[in-house]
Chains A and B, each alone.
Chain A
Amino acid sequence: MTDELQLYEVFIRSRRGLDHKHVGSLHADDPQQALEYARDVYTRRSEGVSIWVVASRDITASQESDCESFYDPLDDKPYRHASMYQMPEGVDSL
């Protein structure tokens, strides 16, 4: 990795109505250049209608190794799922 170039993460909206999705990353001097590189690298076959680039160092991420303690309070709540509630037979739209 060169010292000068920054790492950017690239997100593409493949069509209107869909969320931007992470597709990869690239090196660039500045955001505008990252955008143009992203166009050249990731959308050569009309893969998208909109691109976001974000400097990787600006992303704060959780660690998968911390999963256990990070998500622990959510694991024992089956009542958040509709399937926990038994509905009587013949009742629709529930």
Chain B
Amino acid sequence: MNDNVVALPDEHKFQARIDAEEKIEPKDWMPEGYRKNLIRQMSQHAHSEVVGEQPEGNWITRAPSLERKAILLAKVQDEAGHGLYLYSAAETLGATRDEMIEALHEGKAKYASIFNYPSLTWADIGAIGWLVDSAAIVNQVSLQNTSYGPYARAMIRICKEESFHQRQGYHIMMTLMDGSDEQKAMAQDAINRWWWPAMMMFGPHDGESAHSAQSMKWKIKRRSNDDLRQQWVDQAVQQAHAIGLEVPDDDLTWNEERGHYDFGPIDWDEFNRVIAGDGPCNRQRLAHHKKAHDDGAWVREAMSAYDAKRRAKSSAA
């Protein structure tokens, strides 16, 4: 239907549209860099949803009650759905699902680095839902306003569905903190291990973020890494203290003047090491994803064989 589009490719027009807070839609002209940047970000976002199923899936068979098990299953099912929304939105830009999966398997596309940490105890399921999902939500709420229409709409849908994820995680922590000394220690141990990786989820400081400036100009990103991180710290600290958890940061202090918490330095060496592939579970996560993909090959083949057979039948009829 766009055969007769007369508008000339024009970066200025494109930027003017962005500046006017208009959304970009799939068939619009867009700079190659915008398309590439979006495919990169959206496919990584999709991969994160899918790989993120692994640390949580680890506890489905060992959840402490049938109710917790049903809840965790529902949450992991949501994450798979969110991955699907995001892959589909990225496909509107001309990227294919196969290309995106291949880039993941070849290590060319990243996913949220935090999923390279292991989920060692049941309390980790609480910490992931509470801390990791809340960090993702802070980021995703800002992305509901991103300039690319299909991405923005996927974010709105995802945020709506995400509302129970964070609460079920916090509820697990709350329940543990209401329990025995061992259970409290387990909850504290989980926040000790997940706090800093969650802080890193927002990415490098604004001055050092590779893609930030251009992404902000194109309004793919709407708020800076540091800005989002600060919002998350302020809310997570309050939530931790409310149930008697300590935040594992000796430098954490309320700054009256700024109206925010000050926090200690982030270990960027660790961040870079994990991103580069040397976290505790990187190899396991990728190997598992590849295996699941390969193990599913016969299903995809059977589906296309069935489809071919049906087509042959209906054209013969």
Contact = CB atoms under 8 A, between A and B. Distances in A.
A79 B164 contact: yes
B171 A93 contact: no
Interface residues of B, number: 28
Contact of A17 (B22, B67, B171): B22
B103 interface: no
Interface in A24-80: 35, 50-51, 77, 79-80
Interface stretch (B32-40, B238-246, B296-304): B238-246
A87 B1 contact: no
Interface in B1-50: 1, 22-25, 27
B260 to A, nearest CB: 14
The binding surface of chain B is classed by DSSP as helix
Contacts of B134: 93
Contacts of A93: 134, 235, 238-239
A16 B149 contact: yes
A1 interface: no
A92 B167 CA distance: 11
Nearest to B150: A19
B152 interface: yes
Interface string B216-258: 0000000000000000000100110011000000000000000
Given A17-B23, A88-B243, A79 B74 contact: yes
7 contacts: A16-B22, A17-B149, A81-B163, A91-B239, A92-B238, A93-B134, A94-B167
Given A79-B70, A94-B239, 5 more contacts: A17-B152, A50-B27, A88-B242, A92-B235, A93-B238
Interface of A: 13, 16-17, 19, 35, 50-51, 77, 79-82, 84-88, 90-94
Task: Please name the 3 residue pairs, one residue from A and one from B, whose CB atoms are nearest each other, closest first.
Answer: A17-B23, A82-B163, A85-B167
